[in-house]
Amino acid sequence: VRNLAIYPCLSNWEKRVLPLSNPLLRRDACKVGLRRTFRQKSPTWEERLADAVTPLWRLNYEEQLQLKVERQQEILRELSSRLSNTDSVPLLPIIPSPLRNGYRNKSTFSVNKGVDGNPKTVGFYIGTGKSGNVVCVGGGHLLNMPEKHALVARCYEDFIRQSPLRPCIVFSDGGHWREVTVRTTSAGGAMAIVYFHPQDLTREQKSQHKAKLVEYFARGPGSVCRLDSLYLQESAMTRCSHQDSPYQLLYGQPHIHEELLGFRFRISADAFFQVNTAAAAVLYRTVGELTRVSGGETLLDVCCGTGAIGISLSSKVKRVIGIEVMEQAVEDARHNAETNGVRNCEFLSGKAEAVLPKLMPSLDSDSGLTAVVNPSRAGLHYRIIRALRNHLSIRRLVYISCKPDGEAMRNFVELCCSRNEQKKLTGEPFTLTLAVPVDMFPHTTHCELLLVFER
């Protein structure tokens, strides 16, 4: 049977995502769908949320990995077609996550109207604002959610329901209480960051509500969360950096710490750190193997976050230069290098598209350059690609992509395409020689794809 449309018991998502060529996945999916038909009821709110946030949760882990491999193969075929390349890129077997359930070390919970209509419900959205059918559902049942995160979310919901202040759902409608972010470490450290719209409250009024928040989590019912740090950020914007509106430490320690590959890393409120710590260790170890550094090179670590990649490879290279836009993350990276006794790392703060072009001419190319880039889903700015492409001493580049089928695809093409004077891509083109998927996000359709470019 090759047409899933004849199985009305399957959801639209299952019909779309399951590969028709895989009888095993088809068979198990149909079993799931038939069980749903026999129940004669619609999916619960919890199931709907799980389908949205962790859409592969109904499949066993081996089937999830197979789906991800097939998707990466599609992406590499698309890239080959754009480059008019008839040679297939070797795709190594996917590296599984050592931890598959409760693996997230960072979660952000929203506030909105719940299933029962209560506007002070903390969880994740189902629906869209445009259609006016947004419902907020608690996420404690999600397979990727640690119990500590769900506990903090429940306590925050309890607190704001006791507060006389309204939630801030639509900025123009007023209200104050917004999202809460929870960060945890493998050793049990926990940080919570509450986002708050000040509206027209006086300083004294804000102080009173902050004090109540501290009382609740430090000595009240929320003390069960055992938070090491409680932050609050006042902001009238949807997203706001520490530079725009400083995170206010209400109580506890200013940082939490994580152990990774034998190093100790300090993590600030808004610093980037891979969301799956156990899989991050596998990822960084694989990156180290793919760079093939041997001791005399300079390593460029672009979008370096708190410095984990550069520091973990510092003993294998002569020098590490990391670039990161988040100033607080750069402070963490410098602290991490010092704490771990690493003396050959330098971390620069600023937008990589501004810092890197100025930096490249000053680098000593005699000892060789190797680059590792780890951008967000938006990929790298074209000025970064141009600077890397045109510096001929970079013979090997490892690109860590969390969304290779998005804007990053343009990066891949511009690294490998023929010289283009109009785009100022004058350096020798790279060749994509190897790709390695690493599953950082079990139960979702996403994984990290490591791509090795050489020339």
Q: How does DSSP assign 348-386, residue by residue?
A: EES-HHHHHHHHGGGS--TT-EEEEE---TT---HHHHH
253: Cβ–Cβ under 8 A, 6 or more apart, which residues? 228, 229
For residue 395, which of 345, 351, 430 has the smallest C-alpha distance?
A: 430
Alpha helices in 135-256 (DSSP H): 147-162, 203-218
pLDDT score for 174: 93
For the domain spanning 106-258, the CATH number is 2.40.50.1070
309 token code pair: 């990649």
The encoded tokens of residue 380 equal 């790298």
Residue 21 has a pLDDT of 43
* 342 in Cβ contact with 391 (< 8 Å): no
Cα–Cα distances (Å) from 57 to 148, 206, 453, in that order, read 20, 42, 34
pLDDT of residue 366: 67
Q: How far is it, in rounded angstroms, from Cα 411 to Cα 402?
A: 13
pLDDT at 2: 34
**Candidate list 155, 168, 345, 402, residue with the active-site label:** 402
Using DSSP bridges, classify how beta strands 345-349 and 369-373 pair: parallel, antiparallel or unpaired: unpaired
* Helix runs in 83-202, H state only: 147-162
> Has this prediction a pTM greater than 0.85?
yes
Return d(Cα 327, Cα 318) in angstroms, integer. Answer: 25
Cα Rg for the chain, rounded, in angstroms?
24
d(CA 161, CA 163): 5
Q: Can you give the residue ranges of every domain in the chain? A: 1-42, 106-258, 273-454
Task: State in Å, rounded, how far the first CA of the chain is from the last one.
Answer: 46
Find out whether 274 is annotated in a ligand binding site.
Answer: yes
> Which pLDDT does position 296 carry in this prediction?
85
Domain 273-454: give its CATH code. 3.40.50.150
Residue 168 annotated to the active site = no
Say which DSSP state 52 is in.
Answer: H
How many Cβ atoms from other residues are within 10 Å of residue 144's Cβ? 23
Location of structure tokens 């209400």? 250
Q: What is the pLDDT along the chain (455 residues), one digit of tens a residue?
A: 333 443 334 444 444 455 444 444 444 554 454 444 444 578 999 999 999 999 999 999 999 999 999 999 999 999 999 987 767 889 999 999 999 999 999 999 999 999 999 999 999 999 877 777 899 999 999 999 999 999 999 999 999 999 999 999 988 899 999 999 999 999 999 999 999 999 999 999 999 999 999 999 999 999 999 999 999 999 887 777 777 789 999 999 999 999 999 999 999 998 889 999 999 999 999 999 999 998 889 999 999 999 999 999 999 999 999 999 999 899 999 999 999 999 999 999 999 999 999 999 888 666 789 999 999 999 999 999 999 999 999 999 999 999 999 999 999 999 999 999 999 999 999 999 999 999 999 999 999 999 999 99
